[in-house]
Structure 1
Amino acid sequence: MDLSQVKMVVSDMDGTLLNSKHEVSNRFFELFEELQKRNILFVAASGRQYASIVHKLEPIKNDILVIAENGALVKEKEKELLVTPIQNSLKSSLLSKIDKIDGAHAMLCGKYNAYFDGKSVPFLEQLKEYYASYEIHEDFSTVTDEIIKIAVYHNISAENHIYPAMKDLEDQIKVKVSGLNWVDLNHTDANKGFALEKLQNEFGISSNETMVFGDYNNDLEMLGKAKYSFAMENAHQNVLKVANFKTSSNNDFGVERILEKLLKS
């Protein structure tokens, strides 16, 4: 595996760059400095909101590119490179459908704020890990922000309890199981692969010069945009099938181990 041509590294956050305690390792920040010296771009690509991603990567936030909300928002520092909101005509019908799913809790995700309703307050401590900037509205109809994603939380299994009820809408909306407890709803054009292709075109970097790390179904499209696509050992079976390579788990420095090989090349 010749990694000497890699010019862009793209990593998912939860289950990938972050360990199970939702931490970024000190080793990663050291390796990032070496990537910078070699003019290799780093992209954080997550289902998380922008504010949460840059909070996790605070020391390097001004030196990275960010794909947030599964590709619905792409930013370079404060410059917006891509915004793909959900059609307003769909929003209310999606919320009505979610409301009928037992144990489901919807969050509206705007460009800069997340919005929870009263039903989500009991889960606020869990939700705050993923949303650094949020407001609580008793009624979602009072939210006037442009919505770029609807995240749906289930405390047991989103894949078993939420996805089956929403998958019939896949011709209208992107439905992605993004973690054990999460299903994300985005515009059909909003996915990490579409966003990554935008960045590749912007910076003149080919798929043969791109390295991608992922672990869950919302990473599938972006894994397809890179020759050097890596599934984490802890990845969903769908990701293990699609990725060209495999690395160790997020708790065993899977990303860092490959970056060390990249730097040696």
Structure 2
Amino acid sequence: MDMQGKSALVTGGASGLGAETARRLAQAGAKVAVLDVNLEAAEQLAAEIGGIACGCNITDTSSVQQALHAAREAHGPARILLNCAGVGGAKRLVGRDGAPMPLEDFSRIVGINLIGTFNAIRLVAAEMVASEPLEDGERGVIVMTSSAAAFDGQVGQEAYAASKGGLNALTLPLARDLAQFGVRVMTIAPGLFLTPLLYKLPEEVQQSLASSIPFPKRLGKADEFARLAQHVVENLSLNGEVIRLDGALRLPPR
């Protein structure tokens, strides 16, 4: 898809991978709506890239609908959806005190990362399907953000790995379901990237993490994720697949 003048929505777009992706899409000519629970940060980024900001909780249907309506009013029907909203978290199944992991901890992460992403997709896809087809019959592109943990979940990552593994499993059936309408679905699974969470770690810890990556022997850069997201949107033949973006990293048990 040629992004010039197309309406793009980026969930979790106010920080980290989402923010850099929003910048990249705007540079490529897309009209970007930055969706985030942190409205102030979303407004700052939107002002920087010439887009609009929408306060949005992806687990709340009415919140997503309001954001989608605002984006449609400003930029026209959604053509591109980048799902970058998500949360992390690690907790052992059975703690040192012998207590089982609270079910609420598992439900929260799966609820945001998996169910919340699906909620945004189902609502935006309905708008894409109702739109007029573009060149080659394409109506839209949907990209999800998974993780290397979906393949190599570490100790304590049961909830996170399950939520991201669910996105991987969704990719092909969603692509098949929407193929008849000319809507593509892809997933990117990044490894260890320099995000706000990792920036807070001491330099020696960052270097230790980087040393586990075969090549390049450094943490991933947000722009590398954003550039891949741009390519996915622009390459019509990419559909129904999960792309690992991890420098050949395979996470150890711990």
- Fold-level similarity (TM above 0.5): no
More strand by share: 1
Q: TM-score range by the shorter chain?
A: 0.3 to 0.5
TM-score normalized by the length of structure 1: 0.38
